[in-house]
Amino acid sequence: MSSLQGVGIGRSIVVGPVLRMPDKLPEPATLSSTIGPDAEKERVTHALAGTAADIRGRGEKAGGKAQEVLEAQALMADDPTLRSDIDTRVEGGATAERAVFEAFAGFRDMLLGIGGYMAERATDLDDVSQRVIARLSGVAAPGVPESDTPFVLVARDLAPADTALLDLEKVLAVVTSEGGPTSHTAILAREKSIPAIVSAHGALDLTDGTVVIADASTGSITVDPTAEEISAAQAEAERRAARASVPVGPGALADGTPIPLLANLGSADGVEGAVKAGAEGVGLFRTEFLFLDAKAAPTVAQQYTHYSKLLRGFPGKKVVVRVLDAGADKPLSFLNDAPEENPALGLRGLRALRASEHILREQLTALARAQSESDADLWVMAPMVSTVEETRYFVALARELGIRTAGVMVEVPSSALLADRVLTEADFASIGTNDLTQYTLAADRLLGSVASFQDPWHPAVLRLIREVGRAGEALGKPVGICGEAAADPLLAVVLVGLGATSLSMSPAALGDVRAELLQHTREQAAALAEAALTAEDAAGARAAVRALLPA
Residue 462 burial (C-beta neighbours within 10 Å; 0-12, 13-18, 19+): buried
- State which residue, 71 or 229, has the beta carbon closest to another protein: 71
Cα 489 to Cα 87, 163, 273, 468: the distances in Å are 55, 23, 20, 20
Cα 544 to Cα 220, 456, 538, 548: the distances in Å are 16, 15, 10, 7
Give catalytic status of residue 184 as yes or no. Answer: yes
**Spatial CA neighbour of 166 closest among 184, 183, 180:** 184
Phi and psi at residue 252, to the nearest 5°: -160, 155
Give catalytic status of residue 306 as yes or no. Answer: no
How many Å apart are CA 452 and CA 447, to the nearest integer?
10
- State which residue, 104 or 379, has the beta carbon closest to another protein: 104
- State which residue, 116 or 202, has the beta carbon closest to another protein: 116
CB-CB contact of 374 with 308 (8 Å): yes
- State which residue, 103 or 485, has the beta carbon closest to another protein: 103
Which one of the listed residues 184, 306, 458, 520 is annotated catalytic? Answer: 184
How many Å apart are CA 373 and CA 216, to the nearest integer?
45
Q: Closest distance between another protein and the C-beta of residue 69, in Å?
A: 8
Q: Closest distance between another protein and the C-beta of residue 82, in Å?
A: 6
- State which residue, 114 or 396, has the beta carbon closest to another protein: 114
Which one of the listed residues 201, 358, 458, 482 is annotated catalytic? Answer: 482
How many Å apart are CA 286 and CA 206, to the nearest integer?
39
Pairing of strands 405-410, 377-382: parallel
- State which residue, 122 or 166, has the beta carbon closest to another protein: 122
Q: Closest distance between another protein and the C-beta of residue 86, in Å?
A: 12
CB-CB contact of 524 with 469 (8 Å): no
- State which residue, 89 or 369, has the beta carbon closest to another protein: 89
Edge-to-edge order in the sheet of strand 7-9: 2-5, 220-223, 211-215, 13-20, 151-155, 171-176, 196-198, 7-9
**Could you tell me if residue 225 is left (phi over 0), alpha (psi between -120 and 50 degrees) or otherwise beta?**
beta
CB-CB contact of 381 with 408 (8 Å): yes
Rg of the chain in Å (alpha carbons): 25
How many Å apart are CA 368 and CA 366, to the nearest integer?
6
Q: Closest distance between another protein and the C-beta of residue 41, in Å?
A: 18
- State which residue, 36 or 113, has the beta carbon closest to another protein: 113
Pairing of strands 151-155, 171-176: parallel
Which residues of the chain form contacts with another protein (CB under 8 A)?
Answer: 68-69, 71-72, 75-76, 78-82, 107, 110-111, 114, 117-118, 121, 125, 293, 295
Q: Closest distance between another protein and the C-beta of residue 343, in Å?
A: 23
**Spatial CA neighbour of 506 closest among 253, 194, 160:** 194
Q: Closest distance between another protein and the C-beta of residue 119, in Å?
A: 11
The count of other CB atoms within 10 Å of the CB of residue 355 is 12
**Spatial CA neighbour of 356 closest among 329, 379, 323, 389:** 323
Give the CB-side neighbour count of residue 435, counting CA atoms within 13 A. Answer: 24
Q: Closest distance between another protein and the C-beta of residue 42, in Å?
A: 22
Active site residues: 184, 482
